[in-house]
Structure 1
Amino acid sequence: MIALFGLAACVLPGAGKEEQTSGAADYAAYCAGCHGAGGAGDGEMAAGLETRPADLTGLAARNGGAFPTTRVMAQIWGYTGGKDGGRVMPQFSALLDGALVPYDGGDGIQTPTPIRLVELAEYLKVLQK
């Protein structure tokens, strides 16, 4: 009986639950190395890249003041291949294979979208100047 209680004490609270993430945490883990903590394209790895990472702080400004949510999400997901299918930014589709939520990316249509992609896009909106 004592051994049973000892084993029960070893079970971690929340074990088996899905990992909790946020757009800020995913940005820090997957984007900041190239795009920088503030999104200016000045991350630690930027100097070693052939093409400088985009300055994410001006996405809305370069789009007439409106954040281009659907286009940004497509870029992160990996749908946009760039010129002739070439792509500088790595695809993050494997990271985004999780729970889906209905989300309107700006076209008025609620589309099932990976929650981590939504959270990351929403975080990028905070970085806008």
Structure 2
Amino acid sequence: MIAKALWSLPALFIAAACAVDVMPGPDEGEMLFAQNCSGCHTATATGMRLNDGTVAPDLTRISERNDGVFPRAHVLSQIDGYGRGKAASVMPEFGDLLEGELVPVEVDGTMTPTPRPLAALMTYLESIQVGTGTEG
């Protein structure tokens, strides 16, 4: 009996680990977007002109601007600030917000450990693309 119980422990730990490493769905990202991004990009993510004259881009057309492909690596780097540089410093950095457990995200054919909030935002943005046949 004890041997049987001990034999099942590794399976239990594996199952628990896999449950944590699940890619977040769009709903999780939508909540983060509403709390952190909608002030500039609007609740519908269509962007707007800000008080300082800059324009927060329409995030529903990222794929359209990229020949119909959602550029995951580029989007992740824009959100976390890595790919923006000083020229695009209008968008705040969300470093602290984007920390946390890592989940596997497929980026250009490679599974990449990514902080869960960052993966959630990316998943949400990918789900709201228009003009790609995937909107819904």
TM bucket normalised to smaller: 0.7 to 0.9
- Runs ≥4 residues deviating over 2 A: none
Which of 32, 35, 45 is 2:38 aligned to? 32
* Counterpart check, 1:98 vs 2:100: yes
Q: Give the number of the structure with larger relative contact order, counting CA–CA contacts within 8 Å between residues 6 or more apart.
A: 2
Structure 1 unaligned residues grouped into runs of 5+? 1-20
Q: State how far apart, in whole Å, the 1-side matches of 2:94 and 2:128 are.
A: 20
Q: State how far apart, in whole Å, the 2-side matches of 1:47 and 1:89 are.
A: 11
TM-score by length of 2: 0.70
Higher strand content, 1 or 2: 2
Structure-1 residue corresponding to 2:125: 124
Q: State how far apart, in whole Å, the 2-side matches of 1:75 and 1:62 are.
A: 15
Opposite residue 68 of structure 1, the aligned amino acid is P
TM-score by length of 1: 0.74
Contact 2:70 2:126 in 1 (8 A): yes
Structure-1 residue corresponding to 2:113: 112
Q: State how far apart, in whole Å, the 2-side matches of 1:47 and 1:115 are.
A: 29
Higher helix content, 1 or 2: 2
Q: State how far apart, in whole Å, the 1-side matches of 2:124 and 2:70 are.
A: 12
Number of aligned residue pairs: give it. Answer: 103
Q: State how far apart, in whole Å, the 2-side matches of 1:34 and 1:92 are.
A: 14
Deviation at 1:127, TM superposition (A): 1.7
Q: Could you say what the CA RMSD is over the residues aligned between the two structures, in angstroms?
A: 1.5
Q: State how far apart, in whole Å, the 1-side matches of 2:75 and 2:39 are.
A: 18
* Counterpart check, 1:74 vs 2:62: no
State, as a whole percentage, how many aligned pairs show the same letter: 43
Opposite residue 101 of structure 1, the aligned amino acid is V
Q: State how far apart, in whole Å, the 1-side matches of 2:83 and 2:110 are.
A: 20
Deviation at 1:27, TM superposition (A): 0.2
